[in-house]
Amino acid sequence: MTIGRNETSVAMFTLQGISDEPELQVIFFLLFLGIYIMTLTWNLGLIILIRSDSHLHSPMYFFLSFLSFIDICYSSSISPRMLSDFFLEEKTISFLACAAQYFFAAWMALAECCLLAVMAYDRYVAIYSPLRYSIIMHLPICGKLVAGAYVAGCLGSLVQTTAGFQLHICGPKIINHFFCDIPKIIALSCSNPFINQFMVFLVALCIGLFSFLFIIMSYVYITVTILKMPSAKGRAKAFNTCASHLTAVTLFFGTAFCVYLRPNSGHSAHLDKVLSVFYAILIPVLNPMIYSLRNKEIKDALKRLMNRGKLS
């Protein structure tokens, strides 16, 4: 396979995985299998609940259902391969499979950035202009916003994947990670990766940082609006509607910044894996819990669903 100008053939990469300790492989497998099953169950259950209960047919839950779908796809782009690798002596992955894994994982991660920004805008409109909320956030607009998040994520991922996998790779094709991540691929290059790194950084800047700043600005306006409310009960209720989203944003962007903006060091490989586990494996299972456990509307919808099941 030809890569870039230097025409080096890379057929396979070797992933080092989470740990090379043989006695930990079964423990890690059972742990991450349980997390993956919970991720699928919680997110798919939340999607079904939102779609089946008419009380949840509002823009906020419309966006939440697509966030759950992103979390399912994001986790599924990494977890199945990681789980199978626990029982392999050589954790090899083909060049095309590695590129495909990164493309889909980055697509979902970038789409989630955009969707979290869309959800912040939704909360801003709901609090700043409640009387015009249903007019502004009607279904066609919501659909276009979701589609825009997916398209932006796809295009950004395509640029990053193309830039990262066109480098001249030489030496051992060993990726010191449990999945194909672009910084680890670029680290294997023996050609000048400046342009490629710049393209990857530019996408992260345009999508990731812009989404984060947009969320910050939205919450500045939300906070100012809430503080102007005369009723303490109204202020508490308004803040409560934003609490779950703020928690999800803090976890997602906080760990992403720790993973990708931390200075490189020779002793940071283990910490990279720990942070990546939280970012790529745990957040998809935490999001539905964050949005469900303290949400009265979702609890009531679940009770209605269970009552319908008993009656039938």
Q: Provide DSSP, 243-288.
A: HHHHHHHHHHHHHHHHHHHSPP-TT-HHHHHHHHIIIIIIHHHHHH
The answer to whether the CB of 161 falls within 8 A of the CB of 99 is: yes
d(CA 158, CA 193): 17
Q: Are strands 174-175 and 12-15 parallel, antiparallel or unpaired?
A: parallel
The answer to whether the CB of 85 falls within 8 A of the CB of 91 is: yes
Positive/negative CA dihedral, 170, 173, 178, 181? positive
Match domain 12-298 to its CATH number in 1.10.3720.10, 3.90.180.10, 1.20.1070.10, 3.40.50.1970: 1.20.1070.10
Q: What number of other Cβ atoms are within 10 A of residue 270's Cβ?
A: 11
pLDDT on residue 190 = 85
Q: How far apart are the first and last CA of the chain?
A: 59
Number of residues in the chain: 312
Q: Domain spans of the chain?
A: 12-298
User: pLDDT by residue for the chain (312 residues), tens digit each?
Assistant: 434 444 445 679 999 999 888 888 999 999 999 999 999 999 999 999 999 999 999 999 999 999 999 999 999 999 999 999 998 888 999 999 999 999 999 999 999 999 999 999 999 999 999 999 999 999 999 999 999 999 999 999 999 999 999 888 877 789 999 999 999 999 888 888 999 999 999 999 999 999 999 999 999 999 999 999 988 888 888 888 899 999 999 999 999 988 887 766 555 778 888 889 999 999 999 999 999 887 889 989 998 888 886 666
Task: Report DSSP letters for 75-89, one per residue.
Answer: HHTTHHHHHHHTT-S
